[in-house]
Each structure stands twice: as structure tokens, then as C-alpha cells.
């Protein structure tokens, strides 16, 4: 068995000192993982649900000539690549990524994993907290795809909890154009989150998605919230 080797470590802006204060990048043969402290945030072996997050949400943008899409965060670029595969030539995709080094890793050792999506002229990276963009101008996004954590009840960063709260969801609702869609990835189901989506004014649907094609155990959850 090839051992894991740490390639890099990067501080998480604003994180208190301790185990969860840095992201680390690891490699084992052709496989990569991004970890936070001892916990794996994601690996290059499992990305089917991260891709489905984009494909399923953006089905709803097919009719638009120049959709404006926000993705939070970049990770290994799978959600971004899946979005670019279905979006038209005039689409604009902003990927908000909190940790600057994650962009460097995606332009360097991780670039090939999702097929070099950052080379696509429709994509740009905004370094910063996706929440700040969602609290910005109202009615500007056709879709907001959020995969910044392990889910609404498994946040890797305390400040992210607000994103999934009543007030965070009201921000997202306001930031979307009428008919816009919010899609949220989670490692597990969460009945309370569906209720909060409804309270914020979304029509919601929960999808259970395999972690890998054909895999039945422990599916991931993706919520669609329609404005």
C-alpha cells in the first residue's frame, strides 16, 4: 500500500489556533485528499455527488443565455467542472474560495483532476468568504451552489454555521434572481435544514446521491431550494 504523503499546508483565514486551523493537501499515488486537522474534507476518489450538485441544479438554467452562477468553495474543482459542462458559452461562474492556497493547488498539482476547469474563460475565482457575496447586491445570481462544509449540521468552520441558518438562508434568497436555485451539498440528511429552507421562502427538494457511481451505502444529500 502506498503511504499518504503531505504536499502542503495552508492556514484557514480567521480560524482559531488548533487542529482545525489549517487545510492540508495529501497525495497517495494518483489519489489526492484535502484534510482539516485529522478529518478528511474530500478525496479525489469520491466526487459523483459534488458533480451532481451542479448538474442537477443547473438543469434549471438551461433556457438562460447568460446565467450568473456562484459556487462556494473550490475544493478540487469537480463542482466547477460539472457546472461548466452544462452552462452555455455566455455564462459567468464565480467560485468563492476562502483559502487562497486552494486556488494555487487547483492551478498546480490538482489541476488535472477535474480537467483544468480554471482555464475556462467563463470561470473566475473570488478569494474570500462566500457569505460576503451572498450578503452583497440582491437579485444577481441565477444559481448558488454551496459545498463549503460537510453539511448544515457538520460545519468545519464555526462561522459557516450562519450560512445554513434562518438569516443566512434569507440572504441567499435575496441574492438570487426570481426563479433562481440554491443547491446545498451535505454528507448526511438533516430534517431541520429543510424546514429552514421553507421558512426562508424556498420550495425545497432533497436528493440522495451516491458517493460513487453504483455505490448504495451512506448516500450524500443535496437540497435544491427554488426561489
Ligand X SMILES: C[S@@+](CC[C@H](N)C(=O)[O-])C[C@H]1O[C@@H](n2cnc3c(N)ncnc32)[C@H](O)[C@@H]1O
Q: Is position 151 an interface residue for ligand X (rule: CB under 6 A)?
A: no
Is the CB of residue 182 less than 8 Å from the CB of residue 146? Answer: yes
**Nearer of residues 129 and 171 to ligand X, judged by Cβ:** 129
Cα–Cα distance, 81 to 192 (Å, whole number): 30
- Range 56-85, binding ligand X (CB under 6 A): 72-79
**Nearer of residues 11 and 90 to ligand X, judged by Cβ:** 11
SS3 state at 189 = coil
- The alpha carbons of the chain give a radius of gyration, in whole angstroms, of 17
DSSP strands (E only) in 104-197:
123-127, 141-146, 176-186
Q: Is position 225 an interface residue for ligand X (rule: CB under 6 A)?
A: no
- Range 88-127, binding ligand X (CB under 6 A): 96-99, 102
**Nearer of residues 91 and 160 to ligand X, judged by Cβ:** 160
Pairing of strands 68-72, 39-43: unpaired
User: Which listed range, 25-33, 83-91, 128-136, 196-204, lies at the site for ligand X (CB under 6 A)?
Assistant: 128-136
At residue 30, what are phi and psi to the nearest 5 degrees?
A: -90, 0
- Looking at 15, 41, 125, 175, which residue binds ligand X (CB under 6 A)? 41
Please report how close the Cβ of residue 154 comes to ligand X at its closest, in angstroms. Answer: 11
C-alpha cell at 205: 427538494
**Nearer of residues 166 and 203 to ligand X, judged by Cβ:** 166
- Range 155-194, binding ligand X (CB under 6 A): 157, 160
Q: Is position 134 an interface residue for ligand X (rule: CB under 6 A)?
A: no
CA angle, residues 156, 18, 14, in degrees to nearest 5? 60
Please report how close the Cβ of residue 106 comes to ligand X at its closest, in angstroms. Answer: 9
Whether cis (ω within 30° of 0) applies to the bond prior to 73 is yes
CA angle, residues 211, 212, 216, in degrees to nearest 5? 70
**Nearer of residues 67 and 73 to ligand X, judged by Cβ:** 73
Name the site residues for ligand X (rule: CB under 6 A).
23, 41-42, 47, 50, 72-79, 96-99, 102, 129-131, 147-148, 157, 160
Amino acid at each position: 500500500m502506498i503511504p499518504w504523503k503531505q504536499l502542503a499546508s495552508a492556514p484557514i483565514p480567521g480560524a482559531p489556533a488548533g487542529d482545525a486551523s489549517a487545510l492540508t493537501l495529501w497525495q497517495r499515488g494518483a489519489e489526492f485528499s484535502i484534510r482539516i486537522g485529522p478529518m478528511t474534507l474530500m478525496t479525489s476518489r469520491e466526487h459523483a455527488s459534488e458533480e451532481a450538485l451542479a448538474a442537477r441544479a443547473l438543469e434549471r438554467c438551461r433556457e438562460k443565455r447568460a446565467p450568473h452562477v456562484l459556487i462556494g468553495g473550490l475544493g478540487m474543482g469537480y463542482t466547477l467542472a460539472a457546472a461548466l459542462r452544462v452552462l452555455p458559452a455566455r455564462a459567468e461562474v464565480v467560485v468563492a474560495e476562502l483559502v487562497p492556497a486552494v486556488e494555487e493547488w487547483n492551478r498546480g498539482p490538482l489541476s488535472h483532476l477535474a480537467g483544468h476547469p480554471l482555464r475556462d474563460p467563463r470561470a473566475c475565482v473570488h478569494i474570500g468568504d462566500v457569505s460576503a457575496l451572498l450578503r452583497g447586491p440582491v437579485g444577481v445570481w441565477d444559481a448558488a451552489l454551496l459545498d463549503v462544509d460537510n453539511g448544515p449540521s457538520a460545519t468545519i468552520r464555526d462561522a459557516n454555521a450562519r450560512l445554513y441558518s434562518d438569516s443566512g438562508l434569507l440572504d441567499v434568497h435575496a441574492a438570487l434572481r426570481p426563479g433562481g436555485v440554491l443547491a446545498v451539498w451535505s454528507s448526511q440528511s438533516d430534517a431541520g435544514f429543510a424546514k429552514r429552507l421553507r421558512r426562508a421562502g424556498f420550495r425545497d427538494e432533497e436528493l440522495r446521491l451516491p458517493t460513487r457511481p453504483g455505490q448504495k451505502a451512506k448516500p450524500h444529500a443535496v437540497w435544491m431550494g427554488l426561489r
